[in-house]
Structure 1
Amino acid sequence: MSRKSILLIEHEASIGEVLRTCLSEFGGWRVILSNSIQEGVDLCMATRPDVILLDTSISEIDALIFIEQLKQHSMDRAIPILLITARASWFTLKQLHQMGFAGAIAKPFNPSTLSTQISHLLGWSEKEF
């Protein structure tokens, strides 16, 4: 079975590289890195990832519009979106689902357990990737 792919949308290059390394080394995933939501929407359409991990602190003027585009596209293709945010505890899982997200991961995150945390939120077993 081919390994799972994750579209990572992170505007800070250094954090993006840390996340990419964590997810590829500890999770065994193929990581597609984007530094903007608009690029993420385009990559989502081109690559059809298994999951999208979105940093919510992206500082774009039209971020909400692009997030809605990303959510719409991911729902059409059944691609779950996980948020990575310092505000993860502000929302219940039910609230996140109502907003169209599969879950949230708190910042700061533990690099060694990040892939396990994502798998747990998505209901994936390690045999799947």
Structure 2
Amino acid sequence: MSLKILAVDDSRTIRDMLKLTLNDAGMELYLAEDGVHGLEVLDGIEPDAIISDINMPRLDGFGFIEAVRGQDRHRATPILVLTTESAPELKARARAAGATGWIVKPFDPVKLVKALNMVAG
């Protein structure tokens, strides 16, 4: 069974890298450009896991995670934060919002696939 992943990131480069990495791993990928778009895409799918950046326009990663966790059907969906940020207080804030894990960009494709399989597989 291939995993369905929603990736939310305002960087086209990161979205392209995720697409290459996760498609190569046999995963089905859905992409969104920011938190607002991510919620729109999420409305029509049941992902096995979500990847979200933190710093995005319109709705940042913290707001997106909180909105996802506010939906009964996604309360337990694993959410990995993928960001350039590494400050402990931001990690704590993401955990408090409902994030499952934290990965710092640039990401290692093998480690990302392993993390997704671990939280969603």
**Normalising to structure 2: TM-score of the pair?**
0.80
Give the aligned partner of residue 17 of structure 1: 16
Q: CA deviation at 1:113?
A: 3.0
Deviations 1:16-46 (A, max 9, x none): 0111111110x31100011121111121121
1:72 to 70, 73, 93: 70
Structure 1: where are the runs of 5+ without partners?
Answer: 125-129
- Size of the aligned set, in residue pairs, is 119
Give the aligned partner of residue 37 of structure 1: 35
Q: CA deviation at 1:118?
A: 2.6
Structure 2: where are the runs of 5+ without partners?
Answer: none
Give the aligned partner of residue 127 of structure 1: none
Give the aligned partner of residue 56 of structure 1: 54
Give the aligned partner of residue 106 of structure 1: 104
Residue 87 of structure 1 aligns with an amino acid whose one-letter code is: E
CA distance change for structure 1 residues 10 and 96 in 2, over 3 Å: closer, same or farther? closer
Q: How many percent identity over aligned positions?
A: 24
CA distance change for structure 1 residues 24 and 91 in 2, over 3 Å: closer, same or farther? farther
Q: Is the 8 A contact 1:23 1:31 kept in 2?
A: yes
Q: Is the 8 A contact 1:89 1:106 kept in 2?
A: no
Residue 13 of structure 2 aligns with an amino acid whose one-letter code is: S
Q: Is the 8 A contact 1:10 1:58 kept in 2?
A: yes
CA-atom RMSD in angstroms? 2.6
- Larger-gyration structure (1/2): 1
